[in-house]
A and B are shown apart, each in its own frame.
Chain A
Amino acid sequence: QVQLQESGPGLVEPSQTLSLTCTVSGGDISSGNYYWSWIRQPAGRGLEWIGRFHTDGSTNSNPSLKSRVTISVDTSRDQFSLRLTSVTAADTALYFCARGNPVSSGRYFFDAWGQGTQVTVSS
């Protein structure tokens, strides 16, 4: 059974870059037809999809964040990472990594999630 675990700093200063890594175990990140994604949840609020890596090597991100988001992958370590630049207090949230299970190209639901890691943007 696949498991995901987020890691990274819990505190980031305003205007700096948020960097998180998701380590996948129990499965090979480069196999299958999955969309490995980042999702965030501000305290007491709903969920926002940030972006994803697909096993075909492509990446994509939420248009509202696109200019600030970079998603990369290290298949040798079964890890994928998120970089979010120029952060503000509005980026404070619980950040999840998740596996997207597709029903067709580009259409997928999330069937496995990490526990989440809290990131606070503050000086």
Chain B
Amino acid sequence: EIVMTQSPATLSVSPGESATLSCRASQSVSSYLAWYQQKPGQPPRLLLHGASTRATGIPARFSGSGSGTEFTLTISSLQSEDFAVYYCHQYYDWLTFGGGTKVEIK
């Protein structure tokens, strides 16, 4: 099983600042990597797939990079609605998710 490790577990950011979230795979997943946003009481929402392709309707302030085992989600100029938990998900070999990064208001 490919283990996905996200860091940090919690990220404190002020509105308007940028946030950088990391996701590491225990073995290469090529670019078969997606990012989701989840708010309390809601299901996850697809943000990015293929490591860097934004899903329909996702603002340009969300960007992704990386391939192989190291991936990054960057949220530029954080808005109030961006404070949430973010999960990475590999779909290269079976399907596994990272443990999540909570982005909270500083």
Chain A positions near chain B (C-beta within 8 angstroms): 45-49, 62-64, 96, 98, 101, 103, 107-111, 113-116
Tally B residues with Cβ within 8 Å of A.
Answer: 23
Known: A47-B87, A107-B92, A109-B89. A115 touches B43 (CB 8 A): yes
**Can you list 6 pairs linking A and B with CB atoms under 8 Å apart?**
A47-B44, A48-B97, A49-B94, A108-B91, A110-B36, A113-B44
Q: Is B50 an interface residue (CB 8 A)?
A: yes
3 residue pairs, one from A and one from B, having the closest CB atoms: A113-B43, A109-B34, A47-B97
Whether the Cβ atoms of B50 and A116 lie closer than 8 Å is no
Determine how close the nearest CB of chain A comes to the CB of B104; give it in whole angstroms. Answer: 15
CA distance A114 to B43 in the complex (A): 7
Known: A46-B99, A49-B96. A107 touches B32 (CB 8 A): yes
Whether the Cβ atoms of A111 and B46 lie closer than 8 Å is yes
CA distance A46 to B9 in the complex (A): 12
Q: Which residues of chain A have C-beta atoms less than 8 A from B43's C-beta? A: 96, 98, 113-116
Whether the Cβ atoms of B94 and A62 lie closer than 8 Å is yes
Known: A109-B34, A109-B49. A46 touches B100 (CB 8 A): yes
